Structure 1
Amino acid sequence: MIKKLEEKRCELEELEDTNSTLIIKERQSTGEIQEAFTELIRGLRDLSCEGSLIGVKRMGQVDEKPFMKVCKQKFIDENVEVEYAMLCSKWLNALNDSAWHPFKRVGIGENMKEVVDDEDEKLKSLREEWGEDVKNAVKTALEEMNEFNPSGREQDDQ
């Protein structure tokens, strides 16, 4: 019995060593993949200079054009940039606020999915104050973040 116990202890130590080695290799691989990903993004950004047919869009990033358009319509020239910056900042913060969850579940069983709830109070208020285009820009960003960011609405800054 003692001999078997000693054998099992040795096997456990070997398994722990193997596990530690695998964890170290996995971390190295993850680091290498992250470096390659960062380099790929950098290369794509270089390709997407003005006049290029290739562009890079980060999923979950708000299209700011509707914000600028509505600010130009509502404000005098000198206030446009300030109002635009404040409006964008407010909604970028809202998008990154994990406490705000303007989604509802639709479908049945395996077909169940989350979609943006157009009846969400913040979105309704946004549409009433700033228009459908601005609301749709925020809604699109929410949908993309929900679909393409597996870790949720926390965004890394790459």
Structure 2
Amino acid sequence: MAQPSSSTNRNGCSFALHRACLELQGAATNIIKVIEQEKNGSEAAGKEQSEYQESIINALTVENFQLKEENGAAKNKLISNLPEYFGDEYGIEIKLLGEIDISPFISIFTRRQTAKLSNDSTIMKATEMCTRWQEKIKNPAWSPFKKVTSGGIQKEIVNDDDAELKKLRKEMGISVFKAVKKALEEINEHNSSGRYPVAKLWKVEENREARLEEMMQCMLEKTTPKRRKGDNTDGQNAGCTK
């Protein structure tokens, strides 16, 4: 069977993305309607009012969850189908959140390198150790987290006093410890159930996940022919370039 062409994949992705955006707009419209209903029903009294407000909150929660799911699906489609549209020149790159940075491992093994070890052997040892810790993070039986309350809000953070992490810090130093801790924080925030690294489109300068509209702006800049000097311009693209 013939494989679909690159242009076909892109057209299909663009159609799916457009459809996802329409669904997002529809979900937002529904949320506004629900809020208006809440305002109109504000004169209800007693138990009925309480039950009504609870139903509104539940409806908004469901709508918000669906909105996030659809938004995430559209972003994932962009990452898997059109990765070439993003890069340093646009200020948005694909980043694996939850993946341990191997650089501190290489640095510490290089400093401890002996005459008997070649550079290749040093890198191999660093890679092996980094891989072991990545596998450890994937293990749901290991949960180096603790719950804290700040401003009345409870959240889960990495427990620096976890026995495994304390041992790592003592044996390998603060830089390796921080690399593993950062990966744990990212995993806990973005994929706590799966415990494996996930690809996200990342706004580099602002160190955050890119919004869907920023991704689409990048695609527009990539596909729109650049104007020649002397051409009139109606405005500047603000969502993508550095």
More helix by share: 1
Deviations 1:110-134 (A, max 9, x none): 5111111111111011111111111
Task: Answer yes or no: is 1:59 the counterpart of 2:101.
Answer: no
Q: Percent identical across equivalent pairs?
A: 33
| Equivalent pair of 1:47/1:54 in contact (CA under 8 Å) | yes
What residue in structure 2 maps to residue 102 of structure 1?
A: 144
Cα 1:45–1:72 change in 2 (3 A) is farther
Deviations 1:5-54 (A, max 9, x none): xxxxxxxxxxxxxxxxxxxxxxxxx8xx75x54441143366337x7754
Task: Answer yes or no: is 1:44 the counterpart of 2:83.
Answer: yes
Give the total of aligned pairs.
Answer: 125
Q: 2:127 aligns with which of 61, 69, 85?
A: 85
Q: CA deviation at 1:70?
A: 1.4
Q: Give the secondary-structure state (helix, strand or coil) at the position aligned to 1:56.
A: strand
| Distance in structure 1 (CA, Å) of the matches to 2:159 and 2:78 | 35
| Equivalent pair of 2:158/2:184 in contact (CA under 8 Å) | yes
| Distance in structure 1 (CA, Å) of the matches to 2:197 and 2:120 | 33
Q: Which runs of 5+ in 2 are unaligned?
A: 1-68, 200-242
More strand by share: 2
| Distance in structure 2 (CA, Å) of the matches to 1:69 and 1:46 | 33
Task: Answer yes or no: is 1:152 the counterpart of 2:193.
Answer: yes
| Distance in structure 2 (CA, Å) of the matches to 1:126 and 1:70 | 12
Task: Using the TM superposition, name which of 138-147 and 59-68 deviates more.
Answer: 59-68
Cα 1:157–1:118 change in 2 (3 A) is closer
Q: CA deviation at 1:73?
A: 1.4
CA RMSD of aligned residues (A): 2.8
| Equivalent pair of 2:102/2:127 in contact (CA under 8 Å) | no
Match for 1:142: what amino acid?
Answer: L
Match for 2:123: what amino acid?
Answer: E
Q: CA deviation at 1:60?
A: 1.3
Deviations 1:43-93 (A, max 9, x none): 3366337x7754221221212211221122122324212201211111011
| Distance in structure 2 (CA, Å) of the matches to 1:145 and 1:53 | 23
Q: 2:176 aligns with which of 116, 122, 134?
A: 134
Match for 2:182: what amino acid?
Answer: T
| Distance in structure 2 (CA, Å) of the matches to 1:46 and 1:74 | 41
Q: 2:111 aligns with which of 70, 73, 91?
A: 73
| Distance in structure 1 (CA, Å) of the matches to 2:128 and 2:173 | 16
Cα 1:127–1:105 change in 2 (3 A) is same
Deviations 1:90-119 (A, max 9, x none): 101111010000011111695111111111
| Equivalent pair of 2:99/2:197 in contact (CA under 8 Å) | no
